[in-house]
Structure 1
Amino acid sequence: MTAQAKLTETQTAILKAAARRPDGTIEPLPPTLRGGARVKVIEGLLARELIAKFHYPDRVEYYATDAGFAAVGRRRKLPAPVVPDPELEAAVTAAETKWQADAVTKRDAADGVQNLDPIPRPIRPGTKLAEIIEAMKRPGGATVAEMMRRTGWQAHTVRGAISGMVRKRFDYQVVTEKGADGQRAYRIT
């Protein structure tokens, strides 16, 4: 589509402001341009291909195109050509090589630390958790009701301690058995 149609004052002001900015962005728009008017102006410029829409991970931005610059009688400033500097290139290559070697060394050291087996912490005697473990080590094990009486905990707390601390953290093998009275007993094997 061509930009031959007459631009509104607002569209002209937006494109002139974008042409003055180094990156050619249309933001910030005039503070008086809000809501639906803002949307209509942007849609009009997009339809005429005077601006381009760029999607970033966290936002959307609009930039003036070459046609947008031409519509307000401006030309896009081209950046100066890049002239490679052999000394700088050699220094960058050497630094990148050193960083990669250092990263491998640091990663290997970190992997070595992570592969160490954790030292199991002993269970402190006299704690409620020690009471639960002691009760479960008996030949008949212990029911939730018994462990509740010994610790003063509620049933869900006792079951959580068995599942989280006893089984996972201290790596005990817990067996559950249903007795003749219908009560479930937990026993450490």
Structure 2
Amino acid sequence: MIPLSETQSLILSRAAARPGNLALPLPDSLRGGAAAKVVEALLAKGLVEEVEANIRRSEPLWRETGDGHGTTLLATEAGLAAVGIEPLVAGAIAGARRGRMEREAAAAVAPEAQRPATTRAGTKQAALIALLQRPEGASVAEAAAALSWQPHTVRGAISGALKKRLGLTIAAERIDGRGTVYRIATEG
């Protein structure tokens, strides 16, 4: 486990709760050189990454790069894991974010800017993702029992939240005795 200061832990915890895992804005008490030092340490440990900011979506800027462009800070999988977000969930969140960024770059000419999708740790959606990432996957009945949901809610979450909103690839396979078993498809 990577040792974190209280301030670093606060920044990463807040990032986990924000759309797109944005690490900005930093806490109000952190300014100037102190902010730069904390961010440099997070960057060096690989807990945050500097990416081009989407100015149209009014993403907060970490630094300006010129010509009206700038960068923002995002929590990485390692950063999310460092504050207790399960690696499987963090991987799904990061994979969805990468896929979304690629789709947004391809559709940059589209005028409508949508809010980035994210999943907070400890939610039933995060638990559903963890169930579907297991090698054996989960059937609708198994997920409904584990989450205390109705079967139609599980199907809706898989179809809407996971496939459409987060952009995850869900594989379905009919297995005797279990019914249709769903898994989050792995890359590669």
**Under TM normalisation by the shorter chain, which class is it?**
0.3 to 0.5
**Superposition TM-score, scaled by structure 1 size:** 0.39
Higher strand share: 2
Structure number with greater CO (CA < 8 Å, separation at least 6) is 2
